[in-house]
Chains A and B, each alone.
Chain A
Amino acid sequence: MNKKYMYSLLAVIVLILLPYVGVEAAGLQVLFGIIIPYLAVLIFIIGFIYRVMDWASSPVPFRIPTTCGQQKSLPWIKQNKIDNPFTTGAVIIRMALEILFFRSLFRNTSIGLNQGPKISYVWEKWLWIVALAFHYSFLTVLIRHLRFFLEPVPVWLQWLEKIDGFFQIGLPGLYMSGAVLLAAVTFLVLRRIYLPQVRYISLAADFLPLFLIISIAITGILMRYFTKVDVVGIKELAMGLASFHPAIPDGIGALFYIHLFLVSILFIYFPFSKLMHMPGVFMSPTRNLPNNTRAKMHINPWNYPVKVHTYDEYEDEFREKMKEAGLPLEKE
Chain B
Amino acid sequence: MKLKDLLEKRKSAIITHWFNLVVDTYPPDTSRFLKKQKDHFANPVGTTISYNLGPLFDELVMDMDPDNITKLLDPIIRIRAVQVILSPSQAVGFVFSLKEAVRKNLKKELLDNKILNELLLFESKIDELGLMAFEIFVKCREKIYALKATGERERVYRAFKRAGLVSEIPDGKPDGMINFLKSDNVEVEPLSKGS
A→B interface (CB under 8 Å): 111-112, 114, 116-123, 195-197, 199-200, 313, 317
Q: Is B42 part of the binding interface, using a Cβ–Cβ cutoff of 8 Å?
A: yes
In this assembly, does B105 line the interface, its C-beta being within 8 Å of a C-beta of chain A?
A: no
Cβ contact within 8 Å between B33 and A117:
no
A122 and B39 within 8 A (CB): no
- Chain A residues whose CB sits within 8 angstroms of the CB of B40 once the complex forms: 116-117
CA distance A111 to B39 in the complex (A): 9
B residues in contact with A195, CB < 8 Å: 32
| B28: A residues at CB distance < 8 A | 196, 200
Query: With a CB–CB cut-off of 8 A, which chain A residues contact B36?
Result: 122-123
Contact A120 B38, beta carbon cutoff 8 Å: yes
**Which residues on the A side are within 8 Å of B39 (C-beta)?**
111-112, 114, 116, 119, 121
Once the chains bind, are B33 and A114 in contact (CB under 8 Å)?
Answer: no
21 A-B pairs within 8 Å (CB atoms) are namely: A111-B39, A111-B42, A114-B41, A116-B39, A116-B41, A117-B38, A117-B40, A117-B51, A118-B38, A119-B39, A120-B38, A121-B39, A123-B36, A196-B31, A197-B29, A197-B30, A197-B32, A197-B33, A200-B28, A313-B194, A317-B195
B70 at the interface (CB under 8 A from A): no
Q: Which residues of A contact B47 (CB under 8 A)?
A: 117
Judging by beta carbons under 8 Å apart, are A119 and B38 in contact? Answer: yes
The proximity string for B residues 50-94 relative to A, scoring 1 for CB distances below 8 Å and 0 otherwise, is 010000000000000000000000000000000000000000000
Minimum CB–CB distance from B93 to chain A (whole Å) comes to 22
Q: Which residues of B contact A120 (CB under 8 A)?
A: 38
New contact pairs (12) apart from A117-B40, A197-B30, A199-B29, CB-CB < 8 Å: A111-B39, A116-B40, A117-B38, A119-B38, A120-B38, A122-B36, A196-B31, A197-B29, A200-B29, A313-B194, A317-B194, A317-B195
Q: Which residues of A contact B194 (CB under 8 A)?
A: 313, 317
Chain B: how many interface residues by the 8 Å CB criterion?
A: 16
Q: Which residue of chain A is the closest to B195 with respect to CB atoms? A: A317
A111, A116, A122, A199 pick with most chain B CB within 10 angstroms? A116
Question: What is the CB-to-nearest-CB distance from B124 to chain A, in angstroms, rounded to a whole number?
Answer: 33
The complex places the Cα of A119 from the Cα of B31 at a distance, in Å, of 18
Distance (whole angstroms) from the CB of B28 to the closest CB of chain A: 4
7 tightest A-B CB contacts, nearest first: A196-B28, A200-B29, A116-B40, A197-B29, A119-B39, A196-B29, A120-B38
Task: State in angstroms the CA–CA spacing of A121 and B41 once bound together.
Answer: 13
CA distance A263 to B130 in the complex (A): 61
Cα–Cα, bound, A117→B37 (Å): 12
Q: Shortest beta-carbon distance, A16 to chain B, in Å?
A: 33
Q: Across the two chains, which residue of chain A brings its CB closest to B28?
A: A196
| Cα(A317)–Cα(B40), bound, Å | 54
| B41 neighbours in A (Cβ, 8 Å) | 114, 116
CB-defined contacts of A121 to chain B, threshold 8 Å = 39
Which residues on B sit within 8 Å (CB–CB) of A123?
36
Name the distance in Å between B171's Cβ and chain A's nearest Cβ: 13
Give A123 to B40 CA distance when docked, in angstroms: 17
Check A196 against B195 for contact (C-beta < 8 Å): no
| Chain A min CB distance to B195 (Å) | 7
B157 nearest CB across to chain A (Å): 22
Q: Which residue of B lies closest to A196 (CB)?
A: B28
Residue-wise interface mask of B (1-44) relative to A, using a CB-CB cutoff of 8 A (1 in contact, 0 not) = 00000000000000000000000000011111100101111100
Which residues does chain B contribute within 8 Å of A196, judged by CB atoms? 28-29, 31-32
Task: Write the nearest CB–CB distance from A130 to chain B, whole angstroms.
Answer: 17
Provide the bound-state CA to CA distance between A122 and B38, in Å: 10
CA distance A199 to B29 in the complex (A): 8
User: What's the Cα separation between A249 and B28 when bound, in Å?
Assistant: 55
Bound complex: CA of A274 vs CA of B124, how far in Å?
A: 57
Q: How far is the CA of A199 from the CA of B33 in the complex (A)?
A: 13
Give every chain A residue within 8 A of B29 (Cβ-Cβ): 196-197, 199-200
Using CB atoms, name the residue of chain B closest to A200: B29
List the B residue with the shortest CB-CB distance to A120.
Answer: B38
